[in-house]
Amino acid sequence: MGNRRLIHILLCLLLIFCLILSESCKRKAKVTGEIEEKTEIIVPDFNCDSAYTYVAKQVDFGPRVPGTQSHKLCGDWLVSMLDKYADTVYVQPFKARIYTGEVKEGRNIFAQFNPDIQKRILLCAHWDSRPYADYDPDPKNHNLPIPGANDGASGVGVLLELARIIHKQNISIGIDIAFWDLEDWGEPQNVNNYGGEYWCLGSQYWCKNKVPMFYNANYGILLDMVGATDATFYFESISYQYASSILKKTWDIASKLGYSKYFIPDYSNPITDDHLYLNTIAQIPTINIVHQDKTSPTGFFPYWHTMEDDIDKIDKNTLKVVGNVLTYLIYNEK
């Protein structure tokens, strides 16, 4: 009888111990959950008004055609803005031969945040504007330079706002922002192909002459025409060929944020753009977030390479969408 009573007491004590242990684990889990919640990364807000102001400022200089005063002044301003926000800024002057055989001078601008961190993402856009409105409905405008609000300035505006954000709220990885020059001086329509690669001359030059030397990145994202109303961004084929995982990750983030109307997970035509050379020459897996319109005869937004590509075609909502996707992506990289 005594032994049974002792066993009963021991079983009761064991049960009490298990209950205490269980409650302790619950409290620990609760505290751990609270800590995790408190340490979750807070993604900064992307200010589309600020991005729009950066786009408008570029357009105010006039067409940024290399060799013009407008181009020089805008380039100086871009360098000064990145000097204010970034840790290190490189200016890469270069010369390149255009389709006519004439040599033009350009400037690539390259800014770094956290330059000593090994993991890096390269974000880029071209900052020059097209010297020919060769798709304008009025033939009289075909030899006039375009304002380039969407084609050029929109991508730069988004990246300048990201630079401002990173300057205010540090990020755990390395970020690089490149503005390519002489991107848009390819031969006009109805001109014979001269047998060379005359688009994206600035990025081609940088890929062969990297600044800083021996630079590499885990991956890159190119922005091109990211400011028009109801812009549609598809799985551009070169991006999918070389960097499909980055493409899908970016579009998944857009879907999570409710932007599937803009970021459409469907395939589109390949585009000769700066990302082609980043992939093939620099060996940096790079995607292109570029406005493609499958209903347009050119394949691009309706005012592409026309005099109507002006500031009134820029939609702050589209800038916000693209900016939010990029901000979420880079601040959630480990």
Q: What is the mean pLDDT of residues 207-217?
A: 97
Query: Helix (H, G, I), strand (E, B), or coil: what is residue 54?
Result: helix
> Does domain 59-331 match CATH 3.40.630.10?
yes
Helices (H), the chain: 2-39, 48-60, 69-85, 154-168, 201-208, 237-256, 274-280, 316-331
Look at residue 153 and tell me whether its pLDDT is greater than 60. Answer: yes
pLDDT in tens, 248-301: 999 999 999 999 999 999 999 999 999 999 999 999 999 999 999 999 999 999
pLDDT for the residue numbered 100: 92
Q: What distance in Å separates the CA atoms of residue 186 and residue 197, rounded to the nearest whole number? A: 8
Structure tokens at 50: 């600020």
Instruction: State how beta strands 174-180 and 233-236 pair.
Output: unpaired
For 109, list phi and psi in degrees, rounded to 5: -120, 125
Look at residue 37 and tell me whether its pLDDT is greater than 70. Answer: no
Look at residue 1 and tell me whether its pLDDT is greater than 70. Answer: no
Instruction: State how beta strands 103-113 and 174-180 pair.
Output: antiparallel
pLDDT for the residue numbered 14: 54
pLDDT for the residue numbered 190: 81
- The pLDDT-based confidence of 13 (bands split at 50, 70, 90) is low
pLDDT for the residue numbered 94: 98
Look at the pTM and tell me if it is higher than 0.85: yes
pLDDT for the residue numbered 11: 52
Residue 82's nearest CA partner among 20, 26, 29, 159 is: 159
Average pLDDT score, the chain: 91
Q: So where are the chain's domains?
A: 59-331
> How distant is the alpha carbon of residue 38 from its chain centre?
29
Q: What is the mean pLDDT of residues 230-249?
A: 98
Contacts of 244 (CB under 8 A, 6+ apart): none
pLDDT for the residue numbered 26: 45
What residues pair up with 267 in beta bridges, in sequence order?
235
pLDDT in tens, 80-115: 999 999 999 999 999 999 999 999 999 999 999 999
Q: What distance in Å separates the CA atoms of residue 316 and residue 312, rounded to the nearest whole number? A: 11
Q: What is the mean pLDDT of residues 213-227?
A: 98
- The pLDDT-based confidence of 17 (bands split at 50, 70, 90) is low
Q: What distance in Å separates the CA atoms of residue 210 and residue 214, rounded to the nearest whole number? A: 7
Q: What distance in Å separates the CA atoms of residue 228 and residue 68, rounded to the nearest whole number? A: 26
pLDDT for the residue numbered 35: 36
Express as a percent the part of the chain with pLDDT over 70.
Answer: 87
Q: What is the mean pLDDT of residues 2-9?
A: 50
Look at residue 39 and tell me whether its pLDDT is greater than 70. Answer: no
pLDDT in tens, 140-149: 999 999 999 9
What residues pair up with 109 in beta bridges, in sequence order?
91, 179
Q: What distance in Å separates the CA atoms of residue 57 and residue 311, rounded to the nearest whole number? A: 10
Identity of residue 17: F
pLDDT for the residue numbered 33: 40
